[in-house]
Chains A and B, each alone.
Chain A
Amino acid sequence: NAGVTQTPKFRILKIGQSMTLQCAQDMNHNYMYWYRQDPGMGLKLIYYSVGAGITDKGEVPNGYNVSRSTTEYFPLRLELAAPSQTSVYFCASSPPLRTGYQETQYFGPGTRLLVL
């Protein structure tokens, strides 16, 4: 299994441009998450999905959109990029909750985004 993969690894955007950060997982996990990590800070949840076709906002959703048409893919869309969106973006997934099991989140390697 490749686990959670993210593309691109690094991107520079100009203010006002848009882009899509790609995330894929091959573990058949139903739960998927997008976090951002600002320099020197912890991770904050942007959006999450509990399954194909179902998404919801996290703590910092403004300026982003997501979609989840299949179990495997969970892309994050930035419209009208702003300098405040300069950050490292992590995608994560986790399996269904099962009584008695300890389900951790599996993280991708991150996408480093610089908006100038």
Chain B
Amino acid sequence: GIQVEQSPPDLILQEGANSTLRCNFSDSVNNLQWFHQNPWGQLINLFYIPSGTKQNGRLSATTVATERYSLLYISSSQTTDSGVYFCAVGYNNNNAGNMLTFGGGTRLMVKP
């Protein structure tokens, strides 16, 4: 099956700093999503980005499908950004919908 690797595994930032999280995947995909899991365990979808670039406030994401990687940028980090960031990929088809394979996550702690 498809392999998803995220880096770095852990990241500690001072509030206000910027960061880049990376996701590498081993096969062609037409579905790539970034999720934030907050300290209470809730999974929140940040981006659906199988290719191209998107921005939402202080967060932006870029996926280069031909080179099989995606980047999540967090600017001016806040303590509420703490948690685990997951990249998940898949190949949408009618037999399985948008079934996802998750990476191991990047654990982010933002200190005040």
What chain B residues lie within 8 Å of A42 (beta carbons)? 4, 86, 102-105
Known contacts A42-B105, A44-B102; is-contact A104 B97 (Cβ 8 Å): no
Do A104 and B96 have beta carbons less than 8 Å apart? no
Report the interface size class on chain B: 20 to 34
Chain B residues numbered 37-77 whose CB sits less than 8 Å from any CB in chain A = 41-43, 45, 48
Per the CB 8 Å criterion, the residue count for chain A at the interface is 27
Majority secondary structure, B binding face? loop
Q: A103 → chain B, closest Cβ, in Å?
A: 5
Chain A residues with Cβ below 8 Å from B41 are: 88, 109-110, 112
Distance in Å: Cβ of B24 to nearest Cβ of chain A? 14
Structural contact, B45 and A105, CB atoms closer than 8 A: yes
B96 touches A56 (CB 8 A): yes
| A50 engages B94 (CB within 8 Å) | yes
Q: CA–CA, A104 to B97, complex, Å?
A: 10
- Complex Cα gap A43–B33 (Å): 13
When chains A and B are docked, how far (Å) is the Cα of A31 from the Cα of B94? 10
With A59-B1, A88-B41, A103-B92 in contact, is A50–B97 under 8 Å at CB?
yes
